[in-house]
Amino acid sequence: MMITLVLALALTADAQGNVDISEQQLTQYVNGKVKYEQDYALPGLFDAHVKLTRMQVELARSAPKQADVQGFGQFTLTLPDKPAMDGTITANFTALPRYAPAEGAVYFDQFTLKNYVLEPAALNQQFGPMMGYLLKGIEQRLAKQPAYRLDAKNADQAWLKSHVTSVELQPGVLRLKTRS
């Protein structure tokens, strides 16, 4: 509730009525709302538990119309007849923002894994390809969850929900463009 209030107060409008959402606001929103925790198993080969702990969003920094999302997580990997191994993972994704007017939400389309790093580093060579497969599940799940949603209980944001015509990215800012 507090996150929604802070985000509602932090939205800024320019002279044309367009609303800017900073990458810090998007990062705060996804860290408060988007959760991912999943168990994977191939019987007789491995069991894995992967949990996304936080994300960082950057806008139009590496490419003009692109968002970069960095996910940080933890995992436990269990192989037959071996002790469980704990580690961390950092995964880098790219995406294209899209506004869904019926929901008043921004989604990241074409959510694509660019690369990832496992720690401890010794796990990269042995389990890296398997983790790449597991990260595809995260990629698909994150593409289905909003990266930002307007608050329909806030009168200004409820009005904005039906008046947004497009999304524009500038370095560090996602602009919801409105009808004049």
- Is 67 in contact with 97 (CB distance < 8 Å)? yes
- Burial 69-84, CB ≥16 within 10 A → b, else e: bebebebebeeeeeee
Q: What average pLDDT does the chain have?
A: 83
pTM: 0.81
Query: pLDDT band at residue 10, thresholds of 50, 70 and 90?
Result: very low
- C-alpha to C-alpha distance for 180 and 177, rounded to whole angstroms: 9
**Residue 16 confidence class, pLDDT cut points 50, 70, 90:** low
Every domain of the chain and the residues it spans? 2-178
Q: Which of 74, 28, 69, 25 is nearest to 49 (CA)?
A: 74
From the candidate CATH numbers 3.15.10.40, 3.30.565.10, 3.20.20.70, 1.10.533.10, the one assigned to the domain spanning 2-178: 3.15.10.40
